[in-house]
Amino acid sequence: MNPLIEFSGAFGAGLVAIGAALGIAKIGVASVESMARQPEVAQKITVAMVIAAALIEGFTFFALVVCNK
């Protein structure tokens, strides 16, 4: 098998992991800033943050499976 084809799956998995980490970090930063500005809606922001992070993680696992095929 071609070594570049074998490497491309690992490279894709690395890009997926970096993208997921950046996405979740952006969600965390935005939610903490929002909570600092409006503490009374912190509970709603937390729930929305957890749901968004779970969706990103779900897509990340799917992408990792696709990269390793």
- Under a CB-based contact definition with an 8 Å cutoff, are residues 23 and 59 in contact? no
The domain locations on the chain are 3-67
Q: Is the pLDDT of residue 68 over 90?
A: no
CATH 2.60.120.330 fits 3-67, yes or no: no
For residue 19, the model assigns a pLDDT of 94
Please determine, for residue 2, whether its predicted confidence score (pLDDT) is greater than 90.
Answer: no
User: What's this model's pTM, rounded to 2 decimal places?
Assistant: 0.81
Give the pLDDT confidence score for residue 1 in this predicted structure: 65
State the Rg of the chain over Cα. 16
Give the separation between CA 51 and CA 57, rounded to whole angstroms: 10
pLDDT of residue 5: 72
pLDDT one-digit tens code per residue, 45-62: 999 999 999 999 999 999
**Pairwise CA distance, residues 24 & 69, whole Å:** 25
